[in-house]
Structure 1
């Protein structure tokens, strides 16, 4: 995604991520599916200064020269939002089901993301031809296997969002 689409802060973010040494998707591939992570929501104007401070100890994901990556995501839940409620209640063992398309690569996956005790995150993915809005039988079987049980029968799309992000990794 080009900085113009993200406004003035986008250009400053592009400048800040240019200070980092790159890391490739192949280098991160195994690390990204089983990791400890922390996410922060910041005002766009605060990001360039923070990134500049992190440029030494971290590397930035670089895919074909792009360092700010777009995502499209569809989250599935029950009509009563049971999966969201488990997250909001802070249950130590919970999961979410989502379909995601990665803008930089164009790849799409159906993903089950499990949050285990002590902030460990484990992802299981199934390649898809595009962003999914309906869970067919192969998708339901994949979900059941990933969570070691039957998924709720009524998983439906509950939230769709698009965003851009920068991925940093320890140097």
Structure 2
């Protein structure tokens, strides 16, 4: 009999193969067509999903959504560098759940070879507003063009910030056939800061993005599988995972669930449960 860790490795590969096979059954949408559903000003709902459940979820979603295809790929790779102050000012505003809080990042859309400097604002009305500009390279220091953009878009000064942590993942992007809704599903999450590295490869983080909170086929699917709303931002999870002695009491319920899913469930046993996907 194979050792447990070998059985889990094979099982995870099996699940990912099913995920890739299922994504091939969706009708594609191009980046150009996606312009109509950019949703740079939106409301978000997040979910933490066990990887073993993803094939069934995708099977249920297939008739309701189209899938983004870039360079013949439907599972797209993202590399994101998040900026913060040395004392983690932006992380702490999220920890304290303050209104009008920001994330600052540079993102490389690997498959399309596009790079953007991006600002995300979570305002006091619970909406997420994203603005961005193209950039040629990504560095630990914010370049002058991006610094000017930051200055004119926020009360923040670029000189106070530096690249703190990289967040890498594979993303599935779905677009509703019926409404102004986008859905992202991020898997193969990994974080790196200096020589620190942490992977969360047995979960996926899904985010429903809408102009306003309306009906959603995906939210209905989550109810079907009794997966409740709620998650922690990838940036905050990255900081907690790669820095020492980080306060995180506000995030503990989500952290406990993430660690339980990522470390304790037996993927092999999950295959039988979701074998019909």
TM class by smaller structure:
0.7 to 0.9
Match of 1:164 in 2: 170
Match of 2:105 in 1: 98
Match of 1:29 in 2: 35
Aligned partners of 1:129 and 1:167: how far apart in 2?
24
Partner SS state of residue 110, structure 1: strand
Partner SS state of residue 37, structure 1: strand
Aligned partners of 1:119 and 1:60: how far apart in 2?
27
Residue of 70, 74, 80 corresponding to 1:67: 74
Q: CA deviation at 1:122?
A: 1.6
Runs of 4+ off more than 3 Å: none
Match of 2:214 in 1: none
How many residue pairs are counted as aligned between the two chains? 165
Whether contact under 8 Å (1:99, 1:110) holds in the other structure is yes
Inter-CA distance 45–7: structure 2 relative to 1 (3 Å threshold): same
Q: CA deviation at 1:118?
A: 4.1
- Offset from partner CA, 1:27-51 (integer Å, 9 cap, x none): 2235332333333332222211111
Q: Does 1:140 align with 2:147?
A: yes
Whether contact under 8 Å (1:110, 1:139) holds in the other structure is yes
Q: CA deviation at 1:8?
A: 2.8
Which ranges of structure 1 fall in alignment gaps of 5 or more residues? Answer: 1-5
Q: Does 1:19 align with 2:25?
A: yes
Which ranges of structure 2 fall in alignment gaps of 5 or more residues? Answer: 1-11, 178-277
TM-score of the superposition, structure 1-length normalised?
A: 0.86
Whether contact under 8 Å (2:116, 2:133) holds in the other structure is yes
* 1:42-81 pair list within 5 angstroms: 42-81=49-88
Q: CA deviation at 1:152?
A: 5.9
Aligned partners of 2:15 and 2:111: how far apart in 1?
20
Partner SS state of residue 32, structure 2: helix
Match of 2:213 in 1: none
Q: CA deviation at 1:101?
A: 0.3
TM-score of the superposition, structure 2-length normalised?
A: 0.55
The alignment's C-alpha RMSD in Å is 1.9
Q: CA deviation at 1:141?
A: 1.1
Aligned partners of 1:126 and 1:140: how far apart in 2?
11
Match of 1:114 in 2: 121
- Offset from partner CA, 1:63-114 (integer Å, 9 cap, x none): 2321111000100001111111112222231111001101110111111111
Match of 1:82 in 2: 89
